[in-house]
Structure 1
Amino acid sequence: MNPVLEIEALHLTLPGLARPVLAGVDLTVGPGETVALVGESGSGKSLTSRSALGLLPPGATVTGSVRVAGQDVLSLPPDRLRALRSTAASMVFQDPRSAMNPLRRLGDFLTEGIRYADASVPEGRLAELLDAVGLPARVLRQYPHELSGGMLQRVMIAAALLPGPRLLLADEPTTALDTTTQAEIIALLARLRAREGCGLLFVTHDLELAAAISDRVYVMYAGRIAETGPAAGLFEHPRHPYTRALLAATPRLDAPPGPLPAIPGRPPDARTALAGCAFAPRCAHATDLCAAEVPPPRAGVACHHSEALL
């Protein structure tokens, strides 16, 4: 089956920066598949996911292709792009309160995208989704300030699924929630993704969460995909030094006493040009080759020395 999201050689540059914010990103999401995109803050995860909706920063220069359900998002005229955002692809944002008008009832928010696309809601669809996300019908008459953060995120999920999209984008949807509510939202997303049959791109910095929810994982660093593969294999046998370092720094109950291992240094500044591998200054395995040449992706990993690290 054709992917519901297919990103190829995506480069994105912004004015005033010395290097691309996204540098040759390749990513796919299949129908009914959950794909996690992980990495540090500033690695380009959110920009990659938002490119699927054409939500790019002002002044951005973009090359490559982004196709959603067969449509090239980067070349769509504004009217067709709005229609795609209202039907084929939907986003669950990190902070639901910032995505909702505090002066309008939640019923208006839930149906806004459908009405904007001049489409109609199938009879019983709204009630079915509210029941699926565990919300009573009375929330349609309530305002955002009357609900907790967890309940608002459920409203956000229901709104995203209402038009029956083929692609669901979740940009760190549990960041502002407590641990118990996070688990409930993740379980809800997984259940509804399976029921609706849509592809899910899940953006997170939580490796344990990515391992639990996803079929495949992309690890991102400084605007590039460092490693990709099936979730189980990638976390059990990481092949990129960055992936290994991230996993080593993850807190575990069975970890030995003492401080957690840390990745030395800092991520590269986007105002500084890079000649070779972006991770080389922080990597214990780096050589002169790493500093001079960008490693091409081979068998899902972009590292000059990945075979020696097996």
Structure 2
Amino acid sequence: MDSPHGAAVKAEDFGLKGPRGWVFRNIAIDAAPGSITAVEGPSGSGRTCLLLALTGRMKPTAGHAEVGGHRLPKKMAAVRRVAALGPVSGVNDLDQALTVAEQLREGALLQRRYEGPIRALLRPRGESRASAAARIEEALAVAGLDLATLPKGPRTSVRDLERLESVRLSVAIALLGDPRLLALDDLDLKLSDAERAEAWSLLRAIAARGTTVFAVCSEAPQDIPVVRTGTPAKTPDAKPETDAKPETDAKPESDTKPETSTKPDAKPDTKTETNTKGTDDALAEARRA
């Protein structure tokens, strides 16, 4: 069953194969609307790419998934309309040159484009500003970010935020569009134990409102269901395939080009190296899309 607020997420044999092999594979998911699912796995095992695939920003190449009744990979655009990204490094980083207020206003302006150009033009300017202000205020309340507690209030520079404050700001921006699915990367990165507890409390509060949540983390609380990524070692003579074409609507964040071998049957030194390079290649392709 789906819900008007949260999106049911299901996946079977879900996978993505890139130029250097499998980025992630054999993923099975059955998440109810308004639930929280943690994504765990070693570095380079495709955790971030799985989030991007589930939110319609990267095209999978194996199996299928369904988000809010929209089947992937066929309905990627429809999934993007109901799914939002919280913090995902290298994909939707906060602009360190902006103030918190400027970052929120930019997020609200970007969200307006999803309303459709005709609807946006017909709305009076004063009404649009009032609507954006109300949405920002509500999103900040849900994300637990009180601007009055920041060193310079709304004029505080994004670069001066603590790590947990940055997470809350990213979440608030993601919530501006009232998504049915929220996905976050590296939730507990550089957080103390107390801050990790606060971060999970935040996600529980969001899920309690009906939004389905997926979060990459190093270690999830015991009561949170976990999906694990990690590809099996390739056979020594396996050749890389180049049929994967990840896609994303995120802004390009890097000019980095993936490395390619001049030998079609080049062998990876280790399983970890293969996985990491495969993930890096897929993310680099996504950033250029």
**Shorter-chain TM-score: which interval?**
0.5 to 0.7
Q: Where does structure 2 lack aligned partners over 5 or more consecutive residues?
A: 117-127, 234-269, 276-289
Displacement after TM superposition at 1:164 (Å)? 1.6
Choose 1 or 2 for highest CA Rg: 1
On the 8 A contact 2:55/2:183 being kept in 1, the answer is: no
Instruction: Name the residue aligned to 1:92.
Output: 86
Amino acid across the alignment from 2:74: S
Distance 1:97 1:12 in 2: 18
Displacement after TM superposition at 1:175 (Å)? 0.4
Amino acid across the alignment from 1:49: L
Instruction: Name the residue aligned to 1:115.
Output: 112
Q: Secondary structure at the match of 1:270?
A: helix
1:33 to 32, 35, 58: 35
Displacement after TM superposition at 1:88 (Å)? 1.0
Amino acid across the alignment from 2:186: E
1:124 matched to 2:138? The reply is no
Aligned residues with identical type, % of pairs = 21
Rate the CA distance shift 1:151–1:123 in 2: closer, same or farther, 3 A.
closer
2:199 to 185, 199, 224: 185
On the 8 A contact 1:4/1:199 being kept in 2, the answer is: yes
TM-score, structure 2 as length reference: 0.63
Rate the CA distance shift 1:152–1:89 in 2: closer, same or farther, 3 A.
same
Instruction: Name the residue aligned to 2:44.
Output: 42
C-alpha root-mean-square deviation of aligned residues, in Å?
3.1
Q: Secondary structure at the match of 1:10?
A: strand
Q: Secondary structure at the match of 1:124?
A: helix
Rate the CA distance shift 1:95–1:220 in 2: closer, same or farther, 3 A.
closer
Rate the CA distance shift 1:46–1:63 in 2: closer, same or farther, 3 A.
same
Instruction: Name the residue aligned to 1:198.
Output: 211
Rate the CA distance shift 1:110–1:267 in 2: closer, same or farther, 3 A.
same
Distance 2:216 2:199 in 1: 14
Instruction: Map 1:218-229; keep pairs closer than 5 Å.
Output: 218-222=227-231
Q: Which has the higher contact order (CA 8 A, sep 6+)?
A: 2
Amino acid across the alignment from 1:176: K
